[in-house]
Structure 1
Amino acid sequence: MSVLLDPFTVAFVQRALVGGALVAVVCAVVGTWVVLRGMAFLGEAMAHGMLPGIALATLTGFPPVAGAAVSAAAMSVGVGALQRRGRLSADTSIGLLFVASLSLGVIVISASRSFATDASAILFGDILAIEQADIVLLALAVAATLLVAAAGHRSFVALAVDPRQAQLLGLRPRLAHILLVGLVTLAVVSAYQAVGSLLVVGMLLGPAVAAGAWTRRIVPTMVLAALIGVVAVAVGLLLSWHLGTAAGATVAFTAICSGAVSTGIRALTRSTRTTRSALDERTA
């Protein structure tokens, strides 16, 4: 067992574990709402839409995370503008901006001969490169996420159940939707360092789906999803260390597998209970 856990005695793995755990908390809270509201496509679009901002920030010497934040924010504003003024559906607006942002990012990278950043780090992250300053920023992201989620909880619930009823109750569903999109943006940007732009959705959806198999209440789902996400980060780092695989991709894959495993176990327990109940009725 000590040999198995040896990686956690290394400083950069410890930082990766702490940073990944903070990302798991953000993604658990936001991912629960993403699953409830069916916003997975928006999360994926924002994740890929960060590419032009990251590319431009890298070329101009700014922190890539700053470029990712600006690009993701522009994506969320653009989606809202297209829906309001262009009268387009949400998925159409997201699809248009998704492809446009991704294409622009590729154009920026291909047009620059000085682009020296490893493309795999952009797509799959570099969780092992998390520094103390990154952990501080992630802690602030967790605090902001919890604050907004707590303050807007009632409005988010009403928005998920019935937006028209929420409007009648004075809960301002449009503002609630904007805040929810803002939380998705924050989660996507926060998770970028850990798992990259390609695998962010795995951290958003995997633990939330895994937790949703066991509880239907929102807050318990968030708590359980956070715990599952932290375990997925730890297991992913261990697998990456011992198998020699990419850390960010392994963490994201583990998070996705948690959803499949949890759902499978839940289905098996329900089937077992049903079988036992049927046998009890026959023998009664």
Structure 2
Amino acid sequence: MDFLLEPFAAGFTQRGLIAGLLVATMCGTVGVWVVLRSLAFMGDALAHGVIPGIAVAALMGVDLTIGAAIAAALTIGGVSFVSSRARLPEDTGTGLLFAGMLSLGVAIISRSGSFAVDVTAFLFGDVLGVTSADLVLQGVAATIAVLASVLGYRAFLVLSFDERKAQLLGLRPALARAVLLALIGLVVVTAFRTVGSLLVFGLLVAPAATATLLVRRVPTIMVVSTVLGWAAVVIGLELSYHLDLAGSAAMSGTSVALFFLVLTGREITDRVRTGRAAPAS
């Protein structure tokens, strides 16, 4: 027990644990819609799209969250504009904004050496540097994400499988899609201090994808996804402490490792069942 509890003895590691659990709650809930709606590429684009906003905010001495929020809004607006006006598939607009915003962020960083030390922190997170104010912000964001998923459950569910049916049912798919994109942006913007703008994608997609391998009903997928995210946070912080690894990378990497572990276990189980069924038939 001492071996397991030792990493969380200090106050700053306890704050890191709470922050990680809050981020996992947001990602575990919103990530289910990302997986079901096939918005993984959009989530990745937003994770990279906030970089120039964070860089500009750092240069101006403004709160980094404000810069990230503005950049996320510009990315979402740009994707919608390109998709509607240029009549191109949504993934084309997403790819264009992905490359453009990432290039802009790298250009700003490369021209400004004054905050080069901080670049690693906002790209890859600093889970042990989380403050009480960050916890409040993430707590509010997690509450919004869960409530929005519950209140918009029917619209999000129908939209994930049949957008035309959502229109016929009067569920306003355009509004539902806008809210869903806003939720993804909320997760990215409020989680970058904990897991970084680049590594948040692992917690956003991997637990939800893993949950779909284990259960079928969407509410159950959300619960399992959240629990898997919590497990990834705890295991990741344990590995970070005992192996001297970056906390954010350990949490994100653990969530991905859990996916492949479950996938491998499922494949082995299916082959065993098939092997047993063959002689009987």
TM range, smaller chain: over 0.9
Residue in structure 2 matched with residue 78 of structure 1 by the alignment: 78
1:131-161 Cα shifts (integer Å, max 9, x gaps): 1111111110111111111111111111112
Aligned 1:21-100 pairs, distance under 5 A: 21-100=21-100
Aligned 1:94-173 pairs, distance under 5 A: 94-173=94-173
Structure 2, unpaired ranges of 5+: none
Residue in structure 1 matched with residue 208 of structure 2 by the alignment: 208
Residue in structure 2 matched with residue 6 of structure 1 by the alignment: 6
Instruction: Count the aligned residue pairs.
Output: 281
> Do 2:37 and 2:161's aligned partners in 1 also have CA atoms closer than 8 Å?
no
Q: Which segment is superposed worse, 232-241 or 120-129?
A: 120-129
Q: What secondary structure sits across from 1:4 in the alignment?
A: helix
2 CA distance for matches of 1:272 and 1:181?
A: 41
1 CA distance for matches of 2:231 and 2:4?
A: 15
Identity fraction in percent: 46
1 CA distance for matches of 2:219 and 2:143?
A: 16
2 CA distance for matches of 1:150 and 1:177?
A: 15
| Residue 137 to residue 38, structure 1, CA distance change in 2 (3 Å) | same
Residue in structure 2 matched with residue 193 of structure 1 by the alignment: 193
Q: Which segment is superposed worse, 82-91 or 11-20?
A: 82-91
Q: What secondary structure sits across from 1:6 in the alignment?
A: helix
2 CA distance for matches of 1:239 and 1:77?
A: 39
Q: What secondary structure sits across from 2:214 in the alignment?
A: coil
1:82-121 Cα shifts (integer Å, max 9, x gaps): 1112212111111111111111111212222423443221
**TM-score normalised by L of structure 1:** 0.95
> Do 1:52 and 1:102's aligned partners in 2 also have CA atoms closer than 8 Å?
yes
1:236-269 Cα shifts (integer Å, max 9, x gaps): 0010111111111111100111111112222222
Residue in structure 2 matched with residue 19 of structure 1 by the alignment: 19
**TM-score normalised by L of structure 2:** 0.96
Structure 1, unpaired ranges of 5+: none
Please give the root-mean-square deviation of Cα atoms over the aligned residues, in Å: 1.4
Alignment-mate amino acid for residue 167 of structure 1: Q
Residue in structure 2 matched with residue 248 of structure 1 by the alignment: 248
